[in-house]
Amino acid sequence: MLAADLFLRKPPMTTPPAAAEPRLTSLSHGGGCGCKIAPGVLTEILRGASAMPVPPELLVGIETSDDAAVYQLNDEQALVATTDFFMPIVDDPFDFGRIAATNALSDVYAMGGKPILALALVGMPIAVLSTATIGRVLEGGASVCRAAGIPIAGGHSIDSVEAIYGLVALGLVHPQRVRRNAGAKPGDLLVLGKPLGVGVMSAALKKGALGAEGYDRMIATTTKLNTPGPDLAALDAVHALTDVTGFALAGHALEMARGSGHDVELDWAAVPLLPGVRSLAGQGFVTGASGRNWASYGAEVALPEGFAAEDRALLTDPQTSGGLLTACTPEALDAVLAIFREHGFGEAAVVGRVVPAAGPAPRLRVR
């Protein structure tokens, strides 16, 4: 659509003053990447979809549930195309816009690409929210795109029941530098770029149980662009990349296992967590998406005896704008960690490894 379509083409109407507006999160049945359709349900839906012709230029499609589509333009360039949008995970409209935009751009970085432009996707309850509030959401998204060095070149807007915001994100990558979630090899180490716990924090926030310090940490991690992606993809020893979002660490590690045909083994004690989230999970601040995730893929996960309920909740915790999960050779580990540090991801940590499949189908093993 034309850039002008971002403006709400509605007859003039009265909107409530900002002080009378409801909390953004109160307008959503779910927030952030916790809004995703559960992986098992999504698989069932897609099973009935008709097969479509696949041109040879389509380097990455839907076959391994990867982060974005990749279409080769020429010998030097391939187009990375993705979209992501969701309902509010926070009440501050500017922060909501920032988080949604950061999350959408992450899929370009996760393929090894660099963003080149974005289109805004805007659905807002016009009779409930003021134009000033809606404008702040868009400003938040625009601020992230400026930080990424790209324009928002257009978009589309509708009047909807729930507040929705996100982006179509386009990027470029060299065809030989495309990194999928399907290339991991036995012996590879897994490095996670961001700590877990965003879903737990969002559940606590919605119930008024997240303090100012916790909120600041949540915003800091969810608005941090996954800029290490292209530099990681430039290393031949990096065999696979994905970002951890709505299907949680367990779900996205499983996608990596399925795509490679090998098992993934996680060292749970080494997985970085946001401060305080294990305690919050133990108090019951867990999203509904966490349970839906486990119901969808729990049969493919081997947990150690006595694995605590709060740990399982974090293993399946939906991450909004989560970190990159990188599979690399042990020899490349120092270079991979150095790239993360250079981009400001000092908490990046080795969280597991890829091992030969122990059964007829790839699994996730947690120890």
Interval 210-237: pLDDT, tens: 999 999 999 999 999 999 999 999 999 9
Distance, in Å, from the CA atom of 138 to the CA atom of 68, rounded to the nearest integer, reads: 23
Please report the pLDDT score of residue 291 as a whole number: 95
Q: State in Å, rounded, how far the first CA of the chain is from the last one.
A: 49
| Any domain includes 117 | yes
pLDDT bin (cut points 50, 70, 90) of residue 9 is very low
User: Is 18 a residue whose pLDDT tops 70?
Assistant: no
| Any domain includes 12 | no
| Any domain includes 320 | yes
User: Is 347 a residue whose pLDDT tops 90?
Assistant: yes
The total number of structural domains that make up the chain = 1
254-305: per-residue pLDDT in tens? 999 999 999 999 999 999 999 999 999 999 999 999 999 999 999 999 999 9
Mean pLDDT across the chain: 91
Q: Tell me, what CATH number does 229's domain have? A: 3.90.650.10
Question: Which positions are catalytic?
Answer: 33
User: Is 117 a residue whose pLDDT tops 70?
Assistant: yes
| Any domain includes 278 | yes
User: Is 29 a residue whose pLDDT tops 90?
Assistant: no
Please report the pLDDT score of residue 38 as a whole number: 60
- Domain holding 167, by residue range, is 32-366
| Any domain includes 228 | yes
Nearest to 109 by CA among 54, 149, 55: 149
Distance, in Å, from the CA atom of 87 to the CA atom of 137, rounded to the nearest integer, reads: 11
Nearest to 297 by CA among 289, 305, 285: 289
User: Is 3 a residue whose pLDDT tops 60?
Assistant: no
Q: How many C-beta atoms lie closer than 10 Å to residue 19's C-beta?
A: 6
User: Is 44 a residue whose pLDDT tops 70?
Assistant: no
Distance, in Å, from the CA atom of 159 to the CA atom of 24, rounded to the nearest integer, reads: 15
Q: b or e along 122-157 (b: 16 or more beta carbons within 10 Å of the residue's beta carbon)?
A: bbbbbebbbeebbebbbebbbebbeebebebebbeb
For the chain, the residue count is 367
Burial grade of 7 (CB within 10 A; 0-12, 13-18, 19 or more) = exposed
| Any domain includes 167 | yes
Enumerate the known binding-site residues for Mg(2+): 67, 107, 243
Element (H, E) at 302: strand 301-302
- Is the backbone of residue 248 left (phi > 0), alpha (psi -120 to 50) or beta? left
Please report the pLDDT score of residue 64 as a whole number: 83
Please report the pLDDT score of residue 20 as a whole number: 72
- Predicted model pTM: 0.89
Tokens of 110: 């996760």
pLDDT bin (cut points 50, 70, 90) of residue 45 is low
| Any domain includes 25 | no
Enumerate the known binding-site residues for ATP: 36, 64-66, 84, 107, 155-157
Distance, in Å, from the CA atom of 265 to the CA atom of 367, rounded to the nearest integer, reads: 7
82-96: per-residue pLDDT in tens? 999 999 999 999 999
Residues 8-21 have a mean pLDDT of 46
163-200: per-residue pLDDT in tens? 999 999 999 999 999 999 999 999 999 999 999 999 99
Residues 30-37 have a mean pLDDT of 54
